[in-house]
Amino acid sequence: MKDKIREIEQAALAEIGSSDSDRDSLEALRIKYLGRKGILAELFKKMAELPSAEKPEAGQLLNFFKNNLTKALDEKFSSSSELEKRRGGELDITLPGISERLGSRHPITKTINAICDCFISMGFMVVEGPEIETEHYNFEALNIPLEHPSRDAFDTFYLKTESSRVETGKPANRQTGKLLLRSHTSPVQAHFMENNKPPFSIIVPGRVYRPDATDASHSFMFHQVEGLAVSGKIKFSDLKGVLSVFTKQMFGKDTKMRFRPSFFPFTEPSAEVDISCVLCSGESSLTETGKPANRQTGKQHRCSMCGGKGWLEILGAGMVNPKVFENVGYDPKKVAGFAFGMGVERIAILKYGISDIRMFFENDVRFLRQF
Ligand code: PHE
């Protein structure tokens, strides 16, 4: 009997040792050995049949067996509940914490801030204006004639209501008439000049709206930054100087800039401003001269950013048209000024190498997280 008890005890401990540590497996083992009809109960019954001389020793052995088994099961069980705790049942302060991801500014906000910071460092002041405008400020004040295509209902978002605001001291047509969502930030030029005297230089960030079908490079809402500097003696070279500081600060000190003659009703003369391609640094423009883009291999390649032109258009600019000065009550013989306007999305696309304008507005955190 003694040998048999020892043998069963060894087997039982081995079984507990190698069993799974989940509650169910351990409970099954407890029932098997310690249950009412379990192996131990069986052995106690057999002990009762032993000659009384052998009973005390066998009884002692069985009690040891019972204690050892209970202990082994308890140990195994506590190690299993330890595991469960780790799996999330209870707080385990030894586990590494879950860190909160910090938010970041939207790439458009970052770009607006970078543009404004650059001009602020040159003495410009940030000014804002309304997104809902009258026809007067969006067009007439800026010398945009009635027959201009941008005044067409398909080129501008008109609102159904007519404005009825009439501020004292201002001609009624500036405050009344058809309301629209501004199609550029230039109307703020007129607002600011009506209320301020030169000299000044301002920068105007803001949203603008155009009823364009959305695609990779168009959006019905986008952002612009307008610039306007007016004083008694501002020259075209001042415009060039300011913009060359800006383009170098924004796109790198080796960035080249060129002015192409252009037309805007509110500036005269007007120019379209290009920078050397941010991707190929203007290298692919060599193809224009007939020389291979890559002199080593003689292979022609087209830059995906500038399409082989070597230049990227970034803004429109010019000297303020005397008509605009007249419209706001300035004497064009006494003052001069320059103005420019740029699309923020375009600047951000070029700066960060983004291929689709829609990404700015989809709110996909996988995109936004990168900035
Ligand atoms: N308002 C023009 C546009 O939206 C940009 C511009 C601003 C051009 C100021 C010249 C001067 O295209």
> How would DSSP label each residue in 222-247?
EEEEEEEEEETT--HHHHHHHHHHHH
Structure tokens given for 149: 């295509």
User: Per residue in 192-234, pLDDT tens?
Assistant: 999 999 999 999 999 999 999 999 999 999 999 999 999 999 9
pLDDT value of position 333 = 97
User: Is 189 close to ligand 1, i.e. is its CB under 6 Å away?
Assistant: no
Atom 7 (ligand 1): residue with closest C-alpha?
A: 341
**Is 170's pLDDT higher than 70?**
no
Answering whether pTM is above 0.85, one says no
Every domain of the chain and the residues it spans: 2-86, 107-129+183-368
Contacts (Cβ under 8 Å, ≥6 apart) of 198: 230, 231, 232, 330, 335, 337
Angstrom distance (rounded) from CA 11 to CA 108: 72
Q: Which atom of ligand 1 is nearest to the CA of 270?
A: 10
**Residue identifier of the C-alpha nearest atom 6 of ligand 1:** 341
Residue 98 C-alpha to ligand 1 middle, in angstroms?
49
Residue to probe by mutation, ligand 1, list 264, 272, 314, 321, most atoms within 8 Å of CB: 264
Indicate the SS3 state at residue 341: strand
**Is pLDDT of 167 > 60?**
no
Burial of 367 (0-12, 13-18, 19+ CB in 10 A): middle
User: Averaged over 15-20, what is the pLDDT?
Assistant: 84
Whether residue 84 is predicted with pLDDT greater than 70 in this model: the reply is no
Check if 341 has its Cβ closer than 6 Å to any atom of ligand 1.
Answer: yes
Indicate which residue's Cα is closest to atom 9 of ligand 1.
340
Which option is the CATH number for 107-129+183-368: 3.40.50.10310, 1.20.81.30, 3.40.1710.10, 3.30.930.10?
Answer: 3.30.930.10
> Where would I find the H helices in the chain?
2-18, 23-34, 39-48, 55-84, 107-120, 135-138, 172-175, 187-195, 236-251, 322-327, 344-352, 365-368
* CB distance 317 to ligand 1 below 6 Å: yes
Contact yes or no for 190/130 (Cβ under 8 A): no
Please give the distance, rounded to the nearest whole angstrom, from the Cα atom of residue 316 to the centre of ligand 1. Answer: 5
Instruction: Report the range out of 33-42, 47-56, 177-186 with the highest average pLDDT.
Output: 177-186
| Probe target for ligand 1 pocket from 184, 218, 234, 315, with the most ligand atoms within 8 Å of CB | 184
pLDDT of residue 140: 95
What's the gap in Å between 186 CA and the centre of ligand 1? Answer: 6
pLDDT, position 327: 97
Percent of the chain with pLDDT over 70: 89
Ligand 1 centroid to Cα of residue 341, in Å, is 4
Query: Mean per-residue pLDDT for 80-101?
Result: 73
How confident is the model over 286-323, as pLDDT tens digits? 544 555 455 554 455 788 889 899 999 999 999 999 99
